[in-house]
Amino acid sequence: MTVYDYCHIGHARVMVTFDMVARWLRYSGYELIYVRNITDVDDKIIRRANENGEPFSALTDRMITAMHEDEARLNVLRPDEEPRATDHIAGMHAMIQTLVDKEFAYAPGNGDVYYRVGKFANYGKLSRRRIEELRIGARVEVAEAKEDPLDFVLWKGAKPGEPSWNSPWGAGRPGWHIECSVMSTCCLGDTFDIHGGGPDLVFPHHENEIAQSEAATGKPYANIWMHAGAVRVDGEKMSKSLGNFFSIREVLEKYHPEVVRYLLTASHYRSPINYSEESLREAKGALERFYHALKGLPPAAAAGDQTFVERFTAAMDDDFNTPEACAVLFDMAREINRLREVNIPAAASLAAGMKKLANLLGVLLLESDEFLRAGAEGRIDSIHVEALIAARLNARAEKNWTESDRIRDQLAAMGVVLEDGKGGTTWRLDAE
């Protein structure tokens, strides 16, 4: 995260995706260190802090706190380590000096240090781009002193009004790419297993991370690269200029966090997601089906048909195939509904098993009534609803069916759905 503003729904996709990955790897028995680094100094941060008239560190501290609040509402577990770039300046100096010593980097004397892209033989291997093709149309800004238009900055010479740190090349601040290489290798070693991110980072950011890290260490950087799919809004790319740019907290003002979480989880992590009113209604409908299957069943130990667990495991082991895993949950819900008519203990055990699997995706964490009534607070008066339900029960006891129907219709007009069962009458809010 580059913490100059509130996290948006695209950030939420990445947060939820790698939270799901971390949960599944741990459930599968792997030892895992999950690191999510924070860029807390860059051009956008400095510009926004100057606009606000505040120190850049005050801005980043506030946005990091907001990020933690947003991820908690989406049931995203905190990573094991969350390094900030400004805490690793010395490590950046060391890696840059190593690259200079190996002639993979050069200091032209203006306070900047650049990476020599042409010297790294495999540049472009992640994004499958050829260096000759990249040079077509590349240009050098007037203020830059690059040997090659493709060279990128590792250290930026200090400018008036910007934060800076002393370095062997003069006062300045780090480039974005070197920040991530240093934080990653500091926390995980020269080579680590999985590197994740959003689809917009493949080139040039991740390509540059590979180039500078492998040139510095002489070792492979990351064994596996995973990129979460982009979020599109009503079929269009999310953009502030189009007016379809939504922060996580804006979205959660309107939709239940678990609905948003399910929308972001139910699609395969590599697939683009279309964020729309319709897709959110579908996500809400799916969760309602699950919670209705769980509703009213007694607590029980997770048990039942092992086939469901095996199918769920096979799906998740197949490149985290969450659409297939969710299909297993739907099949379990259908079986629970069948069993509750003939064998309540078996239904309850299978329901516990379904909830356990769903929790690995970060959903079905609530009691059924809590979710099904979600949003009632502030929208309708719950005490008034309960009073009307009691009045309806009295009318039914007196066989006053006209009054009973009138109250049901009144509640329906308020968006309240009644469900009469052996244990009494319960209620939930209808989908908006």
**Which residues make up each annotated binding site for ATP?**
240
- For residue 287, the Cα-to-chain-centroid distance in whole angstroms is 19
Residues contributing to the annotated binding site: 240
| Cβ–Cβ < 8 Å for 259, 280 | yes
| Cβ–Cβ < 8 Å for 73, 16 | no
To the nearest 10 degrees (0 to 180), the angle between helices 9-27 and 56-73 is 60
Q: Kindly state the tokens that stand for 279.
A: 């897709």
Measured CA to CA, the distance from residue 413 to residue 351 in angstroms comes to 32
| Cβ–Cβ < 8 Å for 209, 181 | yes
| Cβ–Cβ < 8 Å for 427, 411 | yes
Instruction: Decide the pairing of beta strands 273-275 and 231-233.
Output: parallel
| Cβ–Cβ < 8 Å for 366, 258 | yes
| Cβ–Cβ < 8 Å for 291, 372 | yes
What letter does residue 102 receive in the DSSP assignment?
T
Measured CA to CA, the distance from residue 37 to residue 176 in angstroms comes to 12
Tell which residue, 178, 131, 190, has the closest CA to residue 152: 178
The owner of tokens 């300046």 is 89
Tell which residue, 342, 345, 347, 343, has the closest CA to residue 294: 347
